[in-house]
């Protein structure tokens, strides 16, 4: 659940946040996909920096028509990252 993931991030419970974000993304939540993409793009919050994973999650959210993901994914593609 995305709300639980964001609450866990605010409370610095990163392993719980990862678990909830991944679950929500796998259930089709585009905001969770977007947040996973950003987390992997930037590293931090208990996520390793991984541009391939970032691009994968951002692309998935973009394919659902999620505008912010489209913009970030396009920038990564333009810059040759991921």
Cα distances (angstroms) measured from residue 28 to each of 7, 32, 78: 19, 8, 26
Could you say which DSSP state residue 44 is in? B
Residue holding tokens 């913009």? 71
Task: List pLDDT tens digits, range 47-57.
Answer: 999 999 999 99
Q: Give the three-state DSSP class for 47.
A: strand
Task: List pLDDT tens digits, range 13-57.
Answer: 999 999 999 999 999 999 999 999 999 999 978 899 999 999 999
Give the CA-trace dihedral at 35, 22, 59, 49, to 10 degrees. Answer: 70
Residue holding tokens 């489209």? 70
Give the CA-trace dihedral at 56, 43, 75, 26, to 10 degrees. Answer: 30
Q: Give the three-state DSSP class for 81.
A: coil
């Amino acid at each position: 659940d995305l709300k639980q993931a964001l609450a866990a991030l605010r409370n610095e419970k990163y392993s719980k946040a990862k678990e909830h974000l991944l679950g929500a993304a796998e259930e089709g939540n585009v905001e969770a996909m977007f947040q996973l993409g950003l987390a992997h793009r930037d590293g931090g919050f208990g996520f390793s920096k991984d541009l391939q994973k970032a691009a994968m999650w951002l692309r998935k959210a973009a394919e659902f028509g999620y505008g912010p993901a489209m913009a970030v994914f396009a920038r990564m593609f333009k810059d040759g990252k991921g």
